[in-house]
Chains A and B, each alone.
Chain A
Amino acid sequence: MNRPAPDALALQLAELLAQCALKNQHSFNKLYQLTAAKLYGVALRILRRQDWAEEVLQECYVNIWNHAGDYAMAKSAPLTWMTSIVRNRCLDWLRRPQTEATGEQYDVAVEAWQDDAPGPMEQLAASSEAAALARCMQQLDAKQRQSIMLAFFNGLSHSELAAHMKQPLGTVKTWVRRGLERLKTCLGTA
């Protein structure tokens, strides 16, 4: 896969993470300033509750501080590493027994964020980190795109996706599989 050269922000974040590994709190503060809004946005979108998002964000930053020494630029981009920590924690949070009982998080369709902010595809296109992905997502069929977004932001299994989109299981599996294949091809030649 052709990975683009690290941009200025990535280099800056990598340097700050290296400093955090040496317990430089000033660098950690700077790291927080540069990334907290992005990560809080993700947590809020997945969890839908401000109190949950705040708690997860706090936990994740403490985690990032404690494990900054594990980050390696050769393995992943800094923001990818940090975002994965937050997203994985959010999805685990949703899968806790007490939250699975409520079906609330499945109610809001991803295609129409229920606030005044620009829609998901517009946000993606506006982001510098996601430029290539935004272009590739645009090339997918609407259903492929929607099923991938729903899965990404809600951690839905194929069956849950099928239930939410009111489609047969096989149909949804094909949308996801073909969507992912096309993304892989598109990004590989980016």
Chain B
Amino acid sequence: MATYKNPQLRDKLAAGYVLGTLRGRARDRFVALLRYDFDLRRVVAEWEARLTPLAAAAGEIAPPARVWQAVSRRIGGAARGASWWESLALWRGLAIAGTSFALVLAAYVGMAPRPEPPMAMVAVMNDDKGQPALVVSWPPMKAMRDPHIRIKVVQEHPVMESGTSWEMWMLPGGKAAPVSLGLITTDRDQVMKINPALVNKMGGAWGIAMSVEPARGSPTGAPTGPVIFKGQCVKIL
């Protein structure tokens, strides 16, 4: 079987394959070679990078809404595989030792009057640019008669669009699903009551996230909208 060792021939065939002029048995032979010839795949990839942008000559035309509806229906039940909260990408750029975290934490801890009682856990939640947006903290929760977390708004918060809500989630870490803590308001500083059933879990919280949900919160019990703030919990006490 021909293996096409000549670099110029390989280049010519790869270009013809990508362009579409390579047909019939020659094309079949070429496709068979691609299966194990990784260098040939590289040559093909280079021609694809050169020629595929020609597609832009077709111009842009919005497809009818029914196309998205059909796509959406077909992928609808797909909740398999790793979930977004396990994604490293979610936490990219989150540096516990980072400058902004340290500054906010120092400012928070140093602020007067010192919040009483002392905080056991703190999470600095950053936006997708890595800028601190919220600081969430709470004292040892098991000792609290009235379990709650404190939320302090550090950055001017985005406008909450009508018909949406902001839902806070506790991330237990690993593969465990996020646990809803409830909806927050647009007030700068606030206290959010925690369901007593969750108190034991809060001690092991790994992160806190906030997502944009429909008006009454997520209909599914898991975040459905974009996560706009997120942070890792740091144990102080």
Residues of A within 8 A of B (CB): 1, 3, 15, 18-19, 21-29, 32, 36-38, 40-42, 44-46, 53-54, 57-58, 61-62, 65-66, 75-77, 80, 83-84, 87, 91, 117-118, 120-121, 123-124, 127, 129-130, 133, 137, 148-149, 151-158, 161, 176-177, 180, 183-184, 187
Inter-chain contacts of B46 with A (CB < 8 A): 1
Determine the distance from Cα of A38 to Cα of B53 in the docked complex, in whole angstroms. Answer: 11
Distance (whole angstroms) from the CB of B24 to the closest CB of chain A: 8
Q: Are B19 and A151 in contact (CB under 8 A)?
A: yes
B116–chain A nearest beta-carbon distance, Å: 40
The answer to whether residues A22 and B83 also contact, given A76-B48, A183-B50 and a CB cut-off of 8 A, is yes
B67 touches A36 (CB 8 A): yes
A130 to B51, CA, bound (A): 9
Q: Contact residue range for chain B?
A: 35 or more
Chain A residue, CB-CB nearest to B22: A157
Beta-carbon contact of A121 and B57 below 8 Å: yes
B residues in contact with A42, CB < 8 Å = 55, 58
> Judging by beta carbons under 8 Å apart, are A36 and B50 in contact?
no
Tell me if B6 counts as interface (CB < 8 A to partner A): no
Given the interface pairs A22-B87, A133-B50, the reply to whether A38 lies near B23 with Cβ below 8 Å is no
The reply to whether A32 and B68 contact each other, CB–CB distance below 8 Å, is yes
Give the residues from 73 to 90 in chain B that come closer than 8 angstroms, CB to CB, to chain A.
74-75, 78-84, 86-87, 89
| Whole-angstrom CA separation of A28 from B75 in the bound complex | 10
Question: Chain B 208-224, CB within 8 Å of chain A: the 1/0 string?
Answer: 00000000000000001
Cβ contacts under 8 Å, B15 to chain A: 180, 184
Residues of A near B68 (CB, < 8 A) are: 29, 32, 36
Q: Is the CB of B89 within 8 A of A18?
A: yes
What are the residues of chain B within 8 A of A84 when measuring CB–CB?
48, 52
- Chain A residues with Cβ below 8 Å from B60 are 37-38, 40-41
Q: Are A62 and B74 in contact (CB under 8 A)?
A: yes
Q: Are A129 and B56 in contact (CB under 8 A)?
A: yes
Report yes or no: B71 in contact with A124, Cβ–Cβ below 8 A: no
Give chain B residues whose Cβ lies under 8 Å from the Cβ of A123: 56-59
Distance of B171 from chain A, by nearest CB (Å): 15
Chain B residues with Cβ below 8 Å from A22 are 81-84, 86-87
**Chain A residues near B78 (CB-CB < 8 A):** 23, 25, 65
Of listed B21, B87, B225, residue having the most chain A CB within 10 A: B21
A141 to B87, CA, bound (A): 50
Contact A156 B63 (CB under 8 A): no
Q: Which of A26, A28, A54, A151 contacts B66 (CB 8 A)?
A: A54
Judged by a CB distance under 8 angstroms, whether B226 is at the interface is yes
Closest 8 CB pairs of A and B: A127-B56, A120-B57, A45-B58, A155-B20, A130-B53, A37-B60, A40-B63, A130-B56
| Complex Cα spacing A61 to B226, Å | 21
Residues of A within 8 A of B58 (CB): 41-42, 44-46, 120, 123, 153
Among B45, B49, B89, B224, the residue within 8 A (CB) of A15 is: B89
**Which A residues lie within 8 Å of B84 (CB)?**
19, 22-24, 27
